[in-house]
A = this chain, B = another copy of it.
Amino acid sequence: MFFANPRLQYPVRVDKPNPVFARALQQAIGGVEGEIRVMMQYLFQSWGSRGPMKYRDMLLNTGTEEIGHVEMLSTAVAMNLEGAPLSFQEEASRDPIGGAVLNGMNLRHILSTGLGATPENCNGVPFNASHVYASGNLAADMYANVAAEATGRALATRLYGMTDDAGMKDMLSFLIARDTMHQQQWLAVIEELGGMEAQLPIPNSFPQSQEKSEFAYAFFVHDADGKVPEGRWTSGPSLDGKGQFEPMLSKPLGEVPQLAPARPDGGAQTEQTSTTPPAGVTNP
């Protein structure tokens, strides 16, 4: 269960409100790289955790931290909206050239929330929990979390570069540092459990004897001219120590699939109930 301290984890200060930056910040709230996503991801991973309890505990701590990041960013959005124009006439009176602010705003910040944040991304697309990974596989989840924190830190540094508001830069420098740690943290689990050799391929509980091993370390070339993009992945030992990389020209090993014709009572056209084209349909 959870408790709240009404104070923020880290100070949020906006020196010069910018309603368009409020829109940009929404990406860090409800975007695929954002904090609602990691909050939900770590909490659901924790709540569904099977195996040693230490990982459940760790995930619960960090998931709980992330709720506070959503709070900080929501506060930052509201603060960037202070003083936003509520109408075309108001904007025009301040800015005779016009259009600059309202055009670039998420209008829901005016129309739907009265100058507050929404659980949406920077385009106003609502957060969608389909992008929450809690796979029941600890290693897969750790890599998903690294991906979340890597794209999350990229986002935060881009927001940092987008503004010259000292308060916002300060807040973002904190969030960026946290993302640094979180990238480390999930990789440390892999490391603690023996690293790539022990953890790969994921899931490591599936007997590799049951996979088509001849294709398990081959880079498939699908270039129409057979050109091989060489790299660490086309030669040398694999990173799990269990195979050797090699390039292989991909060729069709299967046949042309032919499905049964449609049933007469299945809602198809009559002409589909046979694989023979109907009488009169000859190719010119």
Contact = CB atoms under 8 A, between A and B. Distances in A.
A227 interface: yes
Given A6-B60, A258-B53, A284 B203 contact: no
Interface in A231-282: 231-236, 238-240, 243, 245, 250, 252-278, 280-281
A129 B121 CA distance: 11
A123 B122 CA distance: 10
A75 B218 CA distance: 24
B79 A164 contact: no
Interface string A211-243: 111111111111111010111111110111001
B126 A230 contact: no
Contacts of A86: 158, 161-162, 263, 265-266
A229 B57 contact: yes
Interface in A1-49: 1-12, 18, 20-21, 23-24, 27, 30-33, 36, 40, 43-44, 47-49
Given A51-B274, A192-B281, A257 B75 contact: yes
Nearest to A110: B158
A108 B122 contact: yes
9 contacts: A9-B250, A31-B112, A60-B223, A78-B257, A114-B267, A124-B125, A125-B126, A139-B150, A188-B233
